[in-house]
Amino acid sequence: DMHKEGAAFRSLMNNFAIAISLGLQYGVPLEEYVEAFTFTRFEPAGIVQGNEAIKNATSILDYIFRELAVSYLGRHDLAHVDPREIVGETGLGSSDADTDDELGFDQPAQKLVSHGLVRGIVGRIGGGARLATSNSVAEMQTTAATAFATDGATALKPDTEVMYQRATVTKTEVRASVRTTTDLRAEAKLRGYEGESCHECQNFTLVRNGTCLKCDTCGSTSGCS
């Protein structure tokens, strides 16, 4: 639990995450980060729960970059469980030689969630059948597109290519906007905020200011000055 490590540790981890993000945006290869930060050792460390591929980590950074390596670089040598064991003895529900494109893993919805999270959901619900995940993603996209088409039925004409492109963009926005209050609160806490919403602007950007809470977005307080 990051929140038990103290404000200084949270702040360091948050700023480290920002630095890594900027580095990736400016072209630093993910492989370089993986080589630099895997096997780093500091507390907290130990057994990992809830991840089917990674069972032990020597530090938080070791866990993060192992997960990135396994999910985005295919570095299964850094995982503790063989990927074929994760999907189960019945296989993938299709030919094991099928590519990710054929299994539908190039869908835009994959960009919205962690690959490690997807692995966990598949293992618990689908008994390891990754093909079920691709079907679920396709159903999500179809549902979102149908909902948008119903709301804007007068605007979307079959013979209007521009409107079709707009529907595609909005479909992605619909998927991205389906976030619960619990998700927003958890994300805010990971970023170092208190996890409560501001009563003025409704953003989850409240920080501790003495005995009060202050909003980083609009500057309002929880009643104290």
Residue 109: the pLDDT is 47
Residue 78: the pLDDT is 82
Residue 154: the pLDDT is 46
Nearest-angstrom CA–CA distance, 188 and 181: 10
Nearest-angstrom CA–CA distance, 122 and 132: 8
pLDDT in tens, the chain (225 residues): 455 566 787 888 888 889 999 999 999 999 999 998 989 898 888 888 888 788 888 888 889 898 888 888 888 888 888 766 665 544 545 555 555 555 555 555 444 455 565 665 555 555 544 444 455 555 555 555 555 445 444 444 455 455 545 555 555 554 545 567 788 888 878 777 888 888 888 888 888 877 788 888 888 887 765
3-state DSSP helix/strand/coil percent for the chain, to nearest 5? 50, 5, 45
Residue 152: the pLDDT is 47
The reported pTM is: 0.40
Residue 121: the pLDDT is 55
The full 3-state SS of 116-158, as one line of letters, equals HHHHHHHHHHCCCCHHHHHHHHHHHHHHHHHHHHHHCCCCCCC
Residue 93: the pLDDT is 52
